[in-house]
Every structure is written in structure tokens, then in C-alpha cells.
A and B are shown apart, each in its own frame.
With several copies, the nearest count.
Chain A
Amino acid sequence: MKTAVIVFPASNCDRDAAMALEKVTGRKAEMIWHRETEIPSDIDFVVIPGGFSYGDYLRCGAIASRSPIVKDIVAKAEKGLPVAGFCNGFQILAETGLLPGALMRNKGLKFVCRPERLTIANGNSRYTSAYGNTKEVVFPVAHHDGNYYADDKTLNILEKEGRVIFKYADNPNGSARDIAGICNDHGNVFGMMPHPERAIDPLHGGTDGLTFFKSIIESI
């Protein structure tokens, strides 16, 4: 099992993501600089971490989503490689079009950082299967632009196809239909604003995130 974390200029949860992956797989994640052009073929799971790639300039995730490595991520994700983006990583995935919709400025217009209760909207996905009977988890959120938008048609499709994976119990940012995390139509690409990698340690944020990583790793 080999995993990789992509590093963009001003990614800032890259180390946190790598720690989570190491904790679950027992193996160091490979750190891949955004100027690289290829994800090594033996990588089984790619995480696009949170942060402020390119300072969130222009639009969050926009500039990063056009970087060389992302081209290859898109190509491999379309062939089935599991790819997950958290926070800025979700924004980047939405900008590539791998995930539908867009992330807009929070409804309250302020950055919001707090532990957030999430309901598991689809417990059978590759990213939630290990949760068993658990219906609710707590992951921290920390973002300025996490207000998920998609047109009604897209939202209906997402809900109908079980592609809404997590919903906010107490919507912090105005996201449409309380959506916190979604996946693509094949279920291998996943994005959400909350940070599961910040919930892998009882001293810091709880351990609900461990099960999240376990789910996807076990599915591979």
C-alpha cells in the first residue's frame, strides 16, 4: 500500500495528511511537488491536502488546479485511482472538474474554525465503509471558502446516486443542502471541506478521522 501527498506552494496541511496516512498504513507517504509531471505508477491513493495553495489568489484552488501534476492526477483518477482532497484539496478537485460544483465564500463571510458534527449520508462508500453503525462523526473545519454550490440538477443527481457522503449537522458555511463531502460517479474521487487528518489523535481533535482513512485504504 503506497500513498502520496501532493505539495503545492503554500499547502499547509501536507505534513498533517502524511502523518495520518502513515498512522493508518504504517508506511511513509510520498511527498510529491506540484512541478512533477507524473504520479508514480505504484501509488495506490493520493491525497490533495489543505492549505492556501498560491495564497488562495484568484480563486481558492484555481491556480493549483492548473499545475503540471494535476494533469496526471486527473488522467489517473479517470482511470480509477483513488484521490481525496480536504479543504483546499477539495477546492482544487472542484476546479479540475473531477468533482462537480464550486466552493464559494462562506455565507457568514468569515473564516470559520471549529469542530463540526457531520452525519454520514452514505455509509457504503469507499470512504465510509469502515464506520459500521456510526452515523455521526466530528471533524474540525477551518476555511473561508467552503460554501458548496452546484445547480439543482447536479445536486439532485448527487443525492440520488448516493454521492453525498457527509452532511453538516450544523451548517457552518451555507453549503447547498448541508453538503460537506461528495464523490465522483465512480466513487474513487472524494472531496470535503472538513479535515479528517486533524482527527486522528485523542490529544488533538479526537479519532474519528482514523476510520475514514481506514475505509479507503481497506477498499484498495
Chain B
Amino acid sequence: MKAIVHIGLKPGVLDPQGRAIARSLTDLGFDSVTGARQGKVIELDIKGNDAEKARQDVTDMCEKLLANTVIESYRIDIEN
């Protein structure tokens, strides 16, 4: 199984990378861009095929390591 963890900054936390990306894009002439945020995705290979168990485990992983909940929030997708 695969678990896809999306991690992004919480709303209200300033995102210097996202801001720089938006600015560079408009500098390059992409005027349609009005904002950008950068986050990460972690793709995990998981043994077994109990999706519910996997989701619980991965939630635990996020709380314990993958996300810093002071500044980040996360979302988990499980794929079979």
C-alpha cells in the first residue's frame, strides 16, 4: 500500500518560499499568478493491506515525526 502525506504550513504562518515563488513567477511575466504556497508530500510504502490500520499508523507518524504541528497541518491519502 501507499500512503501519501501532504504537509503544508498552517494558515497564518508566513511562507517565505511560497512568496518568493509567486514573486519570481510574476517577474517572469506570469501575471495570472496571485499567490503561491509551498508544501511537501511524503509518499510511504506500507506493508499489509488494512487501509484503516495504515491510516491510523500514518496519523501517528505525522504526529510523532512527519509534521511539526506548531506550524504545519497534514492530510493523508491511502492508496491501494
Say yes or no: is B56 at the interface (Cβ < 8 Å to chain A): no
Say yes or no: is A117 at the interface (Cβ < 8 Å to chain B): no
B65 proximity list for chain A (CB < 8 A): 58, 62-63, 66
Q: Are B20 and A102 in contact (CB under 8 A)?
A: no
Number of A-B residue pairs at CB separation under 8 A = 57
Given contact pairs A62-B65, A66-B65, A57 touches B16 in the complex (Cβ within 8 A)? yes
Q: Are B70 and A102 in contact (CB under 8 A)?
A: yes
* B28-65 contact mask (Cβ, 8 Å, vs A): 1 or 0: 10000000001000000000000000000000000011
In the complex formed, the residue of A with least CB distance to B28 is: A66
Distance in angstroms from B11 CB to nearest chain A CB is 12
Q: Are B71 and A107 in contact (CB under 8 A)?
A: no
In the complex, given contacts A66-B28, A100-B70, what are 9 additional A-B residue pairs having Cβ atoms less than 8 angstroms apart? A55-B16, A55-B17, A58-B38, A63-B21, A102-B70, A104-B13, A109-B20, A149-B14, A150-B70
A-B CB proximity, top 4 nearest:
A57-B17, A57-B20, A63-B24, A102-B71
Chain A residues within 8 Å of B, Cβ to Cβ: 54-55, 57-59, 62-63, 66-67, 94-95, 100-102, 104-107, 109, 147, 149-151, 174
Chain B residues within 8 Å of A, Cβ to Cβ: 12-14, 16-17, 20-21, 24, 27-28, 38, 64-66, 68, 70-71
